[in-house]
Structure 1
Amino acid sequence: MKLLGKAPSMSPLARWCHRHRLAVVLAWVGLLFALGLGVGMAGSAFGNSSTSQNTDSARAAALLQKASNSAAGKSGRIVWQTRQGKVTDAAAERAMTDAVERVAAAPGVASVSSPYSPDGARQISADRTTAFATVTFDQDVGDSQIDRVRQLATGPGTARLHIALNGQAFSVSPAPNAAADAMGIALAFAVLLFVFRAVWVAVLPIVTAVVGVGTSAVAVMLLSHVVTLSSTTLTLGSLIGLGVGIDYALLIVNRHRTNLLGGTGIAESIAKSLNTSGRAVIFAGLTVVIALLGMLTLNVGILDGMAVGAAVTVVLTVLAAVTLLPALLGLIGSRVLSRRERRALADVGPRSTIEAGPWSRWAGHVQARPKTLGLLGLVVVTALALPTLSLRLGAADDGNLPASSTNRQAYDMIAHGFGPGVNGPLVLAVQAPAAADRAAAAKLVTTLRQVDGVASANAAPMREGQTVGAISVVPTTSPQSAATSDLIDHLRAEVVPRAEQGTSMKVYVGGVTASNDDFASVLTAKLPLFVLVIAALGFLLLTVAFRSLLIPAVGAVLNILSIGVAFGAIVVVFQYGFGASLLGLGAAGPIESFVPILVVGIMFGLSMDYQVFLVSRMREEWAHTGDSHRAVRVGQAETGQVIAVAATIMFCVFGSFVFGGLRVISEFGVSLAVAVALDALLIRMVVVPALMHLCGRANWWLPRRLDRALPRFSVEGPSEEPASRPGPGREPQTAGLPR
């Protein structure tokens, strides 16, 4: 890259890696082994961090925790249902009473609330076919202790007595799916082999990406001891790393093949490839990392860890592409070409890589009909992005899990026996320092029972001297329902303020359901600004890279449309439910609150990748000829194949994660697979070149003062300048040219 002066060449790095190729390969193997050994000794420490947002539910949780001074940890439910008879029949009651007692005596269990206790009547359904017990664990309970409780609880299950578990303590997050990784890698290999007809061209990008992702995975495990990282960070990193890692390596390999076919020697070709395409890879990787780390400014705990983990993965995949890959290219020599290509090179000699082919013909069609194709492409992309207008953020509950899941079965049993709202009750924290406040709190309970959307409201009696109490409110609708969100808003805006009026009582609406709703509201409010900031960042980076105002402006708008396509895809599949059940993704529901934020960061980086790959070649041709139409046509023709192959690989890798069994990762897979395919094949191969043909020389215009003020930043390495350069409304001139 070229910044404030002469660009440091990457050729010395490429030549060093080529000369010491065996040492470089062994160094990567040693790094992977050393990090793996560290993980074997220290393990990982994944966990979820709470947000730092000042929300009503956060205040409720803090107040109740302070008042109770409890060290209790996670809780969950044991739910059982009789297929014949009642849960109060002697045999069923005896079996489950024994099981509950064994659970209560198990290590790590703080308390158990049994439906067969004197105060447990509300834990038995009206038809006496369903009951549940609530288990509260110690704060430092281990996974093995929870597994033991799970075994004890489900032990009495028979054909007549069905037992299932749900709740925070018993939630099961599917482990990273090795089959999804393998499927994506196999599909990527098939695509590369089909297109290039050379085994090593198919192998090298995959090996480079796998080494980068594997190294980053063990690094992230060690990093989890320092930074709070979500348990989904590894899967998300694998999803992103495999996609970008294969693409970045493919770009360098493709340039190397082009150089070899043109008669360049192996060592010199590797140096040239890294000094041109290697620069583009570093620039593209930096944009992804910047976008991911930009999420740290949102100050959302769960996103911070995911962003850091994903950024580490991208950095290591880029490092593998610019160090390990040159070494591997040196080891295999000319076998990066197919046998037919090697024979032709030996018999006929070097040949030009600019040939008439399908992508050249397509570039000519776009140049001939820019208005029609550009407008048609914009209409299609806009239509696909329209479902974004109905995007609803929230938190999918156990009702969205596949029917085979024990958590889903427990959820359905509770909903059938007690009503859907019991799966996510609201908890109102009441601060009542005076006697009159306690009377007002009792009156509030009566008022809540009469509110539309409330199935029941109950409060535990406040003891003498106690100033903080809790009211449990069970909605008539499920935790993820929009009606439940409306109820929360109604309680906060109208019911609670009226109850507080004329008193010193303070009431905060909390609980897991309200907390999820608050989290969604916080991110919904931040999402538009984040999209605009990302678009502005893209505009600035492209302006510096390509010395143009029009190209970055078009790129920023089209990046937003790409993000809209990603959102539209997850809305249709996960919120509307079209195809979700066929894919094994459970029922329709809201989109996980943090998914759109991460998608914005990832899609920004990937869209910038393709824009850089495409426009950098166009600008290289413009720098040589000064002919804008030729530059656009040649740039599209020469990068069309590699962008199409890269997008196909991305689609395969992202699409394979849809079947991983984890709804959050499936949302990423669907959104990114659809958006990347449309972005590369429609936006970059139709809309961008069509608009650039319509704009002509204005594509490359930059005001003189701005040109002098901006730093010099070369993406594809040094190139010759065009003989002329346009200004708006005047003849081409040489002043202010990018270098």
Structure 2
Amino acid sequence: MRQHSWGAHMARRRRLVIVTWLVLIILCGLAFPLLSKELKAPNYGVDGAQSTRASNLIQQYFQGLGNEQDVIVFDAPQGQVSDPDQRAAIDRVVVAARGSTGVVTVIGPFDPLAKDQVAPDGRAALAVVGMQGDTDQLPGRASDLQEAIDEAAGSGIEAYLTGYSPITNDLTVVETTAASQAEGIGLPIALVIMVLAFGAVMAAALPLLLAIAGLMLTFGVIYLLSFVMTFDAFLVTIVTMIGTGIGIDYAMFIVSRFREELARRGVTTRDPDAIAEATGVAIRTSGRTILFSGVVVGISVCSFFILKSPLFREISIGVLVSVICTVIAALTLLPAVLAALGPRVNGWQLPPRWRPADVRSDTHLAAGPWARWAHLVIRRPVIYALVVAIVLVVAALPVGSLKYGIDLGTKSLAGRPSASAQEVLDRSFSPGVVSPIQIVITAPGDGPLDAAGQERASRLATELSGDSRVAQIETLPNEGRVLLNVVPKVAIDSSEAIALVEHIRDDLAPPTGDQVLVGGATASFVDLSDETTAKLPWVLLLVLGLSLVFLLLIFRSVVLPIKAVIMNLLATGAAIGLTVAVFQWGHGAGLLGFTSTGFLQVYLPITVFVLLFGLSMDYEVFLIRRIQEAWEDGHDTDESIAIGVEHTARPITAAAAIMVAVFGSFVTAQVLELKQFGFALAVAVAIDATLVRLVLVPALMKLFGDWNWWLPAWLDRVLPHIGEHHPRRTEQPEELAASAERR
């Protein structure tokens, strides 16, 4: 079915469509609390990486340790942990922990096998816990263990569980709360912006309706997928951010075009045929644009599949589901609601001078304020293009010093058990005890070591014990294999811990002979960083190449897709460069309320690039297609640019302002990764919608002139037609006809 017929079809069956969506929203809303219970800790592993192979060998040959080593931290605010009452409480906790699901071993502080598990000052003690389970099971088992600890601990002793899964469990709670608070800030601001953009309260409410409907459907689908996959809280935060942004974006484009079509037809009363026709045109034009945009976003996020990491696969699937659900809502629910409202979409209007020019009959096609801005730019295109290009290049310069890392966000966990445990560890023990570096030494092919190999493993342990970053080493032989549990003196997500892992791998492990595999949480962070760095060029090539081909099909032009790709690279580079300057170099740390870790989260630059590249295509396709429409109607290049900018600049700037408000609200979160992510996306969208779309695009299109629409005849014959293109009208003044003939 053709798209203009599709919009009219949705309009005529609006009641059925709206009722169907209401049922879907209710069902998906009921599923959301169930989804929240299914969220797991982030999986920073890499398929087939050294840390993953080490974990597999530990499960195979050292099962008594479990898959994860956690720690119960005991603190005696009054007296000593060895006092009778405190010791009795510790014993109760140890017994309760041994009976918890998934716990395979607990070494209490007073057990014969305990090693240095009572603090020198006698005020704190540790119990080492080995938990069995895969990445899906461990977070839930850690949560159950914390509950058992809370029930068993009595007065006089405080007991907290910490370790990788307990920390990420607490982080899930904190991030979910922070995301809700950020949305509470961003969405009211977004509503105000939409009222100002549309000049009518009713029209402004529709983008929020679409965003909510798309998100509800997304969460419902993700809940169904959670039966066969795992998802973490950070993914839900990303999906909420992106889903809200693109939902509002897509709705603004369609609602703007619908109101324009109503004004053009002079529809002020209920006229079903005229309303259905206006709906059909809105979907045929803006609906087609968002469909194309959704495909570009989908192409971009699918590039994550070449990264062998569950973390990136989750992001890819989550964002892809969000885009598909939002597009479905935009092409079904939104036209049905618009048809039901008709002229009432303009309900509760602002005074006339606050309304968009294209819904007022007294405004000339290319004489509005945005058209005047476009003419200002195209009168001096070289100057404007050069100034903006220099600004973007300078902003992108810090990318050259980009460093990767992972900050678990422990500083944001105040009040949570793992944060309380960390305070005691920092005071009385080593912070690295929460997740030791695990070194598995075997013969090649995972075989047992001979006597010489055992001796080399012993020498490695001795050499490591002299490292100033190492607090303790435990050597565990089994079936000819050796496991070294290395407890660092530094936090597991610190630069020093990462440097220690790299030192073991690069300098201490023998280049030939024995197989030395370094595992543990810190090693997983290193492997994820290496995988991201190695695959980044391939992700860039895949996204750029596929986007170039798809834009070539949409615009049927060689110049426009190349220009779009280059501009997007500049905008993305500038956004990441500014993020490096702020969060890695620490400029503005006091203002934004954080302490720089000296690096960006390992997945942030590549994720921002992919997401921004997809999101910015909304504005690119929306603006260029409108300019192309004017050009196909016979207007010259200058007039086409002015008409396109006049009709799209207001919704583009409003949509960008809303995205900046939604993304920027996450800068208020206490979790560093949310701050980084929100800042990077907000800055990227702001740069793209202002400097790129409102300055670079009109300036460069003026400079290229008729070359904007150039497509070799042989390529025109080969390329399939996926969009609606009309031959340029020539019933215009002689100079336009001559230009068309030259083309």
1:314-339, Cα deviation, whole Å (9 max, x unpaired): 11111111111111111112122256
Match of 1:728 in 2: none
Structure 2 stretches lacking a partner, 5+ long:
267-273, 443-447, 733-737
CA–CA distance in structure 1, aligned partners of residues 430 and 551 of structure 2:
54
What's 2:728 paired with? 721
Residue of structure 2 in register with 1:247 after alignment: 249
User: Does the aligned pair in 2 maintain the 1:49–1:228 contact within 8 Å?
Assistant: no
8 A Cα contact 1:44 1:225, kept in partner: no
Q: What residue is the counterpart of 1:66 in the other structure?
A: 60
- Equivalent residue for 2:462, pick from 442, 446, 451: 446
Aligned counterparts of 1:511 and 1:143: Cα–Cα separation in 2? 16
Change (3 A) 1:536 1:168: same
Tell me, in whole angstroms, the C-alpha distance in 1 between the residues paired with 2:580 and 2:426.
Answer: 25
Relative to structure 1, the CA distance from residue 341 to residue 91 in structure 2 (aligned partners, 3 Å threshold; closer, same or farther) is closer
Which residue of structure 2 aligns with residue 30 of structure 1? 23
Task: Identify the residue that residue 3 of structure 1 maps to in structure 2.
Answer: none
Q: What is residue 296 of structure 1 aligned with on the other side? A: 305
Shift of 1:450: 3.0
CA gap of 1:124–1:576, structure 2 versus 1, over 3 A, is farther
Alpha-carbon deviation of 1:71? 9.1
Per-residue CA distance 1:601-644 (angstroms, 9 max, x = gap) = 21111111111111111112222235222222322232111110
Q: 1:509 aligns with which of 479, 501, 518?
A: 518
Deviation at 1:582, TM superposition (A): 6.1
Q: Is the 8 A contact 1:262 1:352 kept in 2?
A: no
Structure 2 partner of 1:335: 344
Deviations 1:132-181 (A, max 9, x none): 22233453868776545324535688998665432133232123644433
- The correspondence of residues 226-305 of structure 1 with structure 2, limited to 5 A, is 226-263=228-265, 265-305=274-314
Is the Cα–Cα contact under 8 Å of residues 125 and 418 in structure 1 kept in the other structure?
Answer: yes
Equivalent of 2:187 in 185, 193, 196: 185
> Which residue of the other structure, out of 396, 417, 426, is the alignment partner of 1:385?
396
CA shift in 2, pair 1:353/1:196, >3 Å: farther
Deviations 1:339-363 (A, max 9, x none): 6699999xx9945562644322321
Aligned pairs (5 A) from 1:455-474: 455-460=471-476, 462=477, 466-474=479-487
Distance 1:105 1:424 in 2: 22
Call closer, same or farther: CA 1:573–1:127 in 2, change over 3 Å. farther
Pairs within 5 Å for 1:293-692: 293-338=302-347, 350-352=361-363, 354=365, 356-431=367-442, 432-451=448-467, 453-460=469-476, 462=477, 466-497=479-510, 504-578=513-587, 588=597, 590-625=599-634, 627-659=636-668, 663-692=672-701
Q: Does 1:132 align with 2:126?
A: yes
Measure how far apart 1:252 and its partner are.
0.7
Write the letter of the residue equivalent to 1:395: I
Distance 1:26 1:380 in 2: 50
C-alpha separation in 2, matches of 1:400 and 1:383: 33
Count of paired positions: 713
Are the aligned partners of 1:395 and 1:480 in contact in 2 as well (CA < 8 Å)? yes
- SS in structure 2 of the partner of residue 384 of structure 1: helix
Q: For the residues of structure 2 that align with 1:22 and 1:580, how far apart are their CA atoms?
A: 52
Q: 1:89 to 1:34 in 2, by over 3 A?
A: closer
SS in 1 for 2:438: strand
Query: Aligned-pair distance for 1:266?
Result: 2.1
* Match among 197, 200, 205 for residue 198 of structure 1: 200
Instruction: Please give the TM-score of this superposition, normalised by the length of structure 1.
Output: 0.88
Question: In 2, distance between residues paired with 1:366 and 1:537?
Answer: 31
Q: Distance in 1 between matches of 2:666 and 2:113?
A: 46
Residue 309 of structure 1 aligns with an amino acid whose one-letter code is G
Give the corresponding residue for 1:149: 145
Is the contact made by 2:308 and 2:531 (CA closer than 8 Å) also made in structure 1? no
**What are the Cα deviations for residues 464-519 of structure 1, in whole angstroms up to 9, with x where unaligned?**
xx211211223444323333333322222221117xx6xx5322112211121111
Report the AA paired with residue 539 of structure 2: F
User: Does 2:13 match 1:20?
Assistant: yes
Structure-2-length-normalised TM-score: 0.87
Aligned to 1:110: 104
Local SS of the residue matching 2:621: helix
Higher share of residues assigned helix: 2
Aligned-pair identity (%): 32
**Contact preservation (8 Å) 1:536, 1:556:** no
Runs of 5+ in structure 1 lacking a partner?
1-7, 726-730
- Give the match for residue 5 of structure 1: none
Establish whether residue 166 from structure 1 lines up as the match of residue 162 from structure 2: yes
Residues 451/138 of structure 1: CA separation in 2 closer, same or farther (3 Å cut): closer
* Separation in structure 2 between the aligned mates of residue 43 and residue 677 of structure 1, nearest angstrom: 32
Contact 1:385 1:566 in 2 (8 A): yes
1:267-318 CA-partner distances (Å, limit 9, x unpaired): 2211111111111011111111121223223332222122112211111111
The question of whether the paired residues in 1 share the 8 Å contact of 2:243 and 2:322 is answered with: yes
Native 8 Å contact 2:82 2:122 kept in 1:
yes
> What RMSD, in angstroms, separates the aligned Cα atoms of the two structures?
3.3
Question: Following the alignment from structure 2 to structure 1, what is the Cα–Cα distance between the partners of residues 195 and 16?
Answer: 28
- Kindly provide the amino acid, as one letter, of the partner of residue 272 in structure 1: V
**Cα offset, 1:645, TM superposition:** 0.4
Tell me whether 694-703 or 102-111 shows the greater mean CA deviation: 102-111
Q: In 2 relative to 1, CA 349–223 (structure 1 residues): closer, same or farther, beyond 3 Å? A: closer
Distance 1:299 1:15 in 2: 44
Asked whether the equivalents of residues 299 and 547 of structure 2 are also in contact (C-alpha less than 8 Å), the reply is no
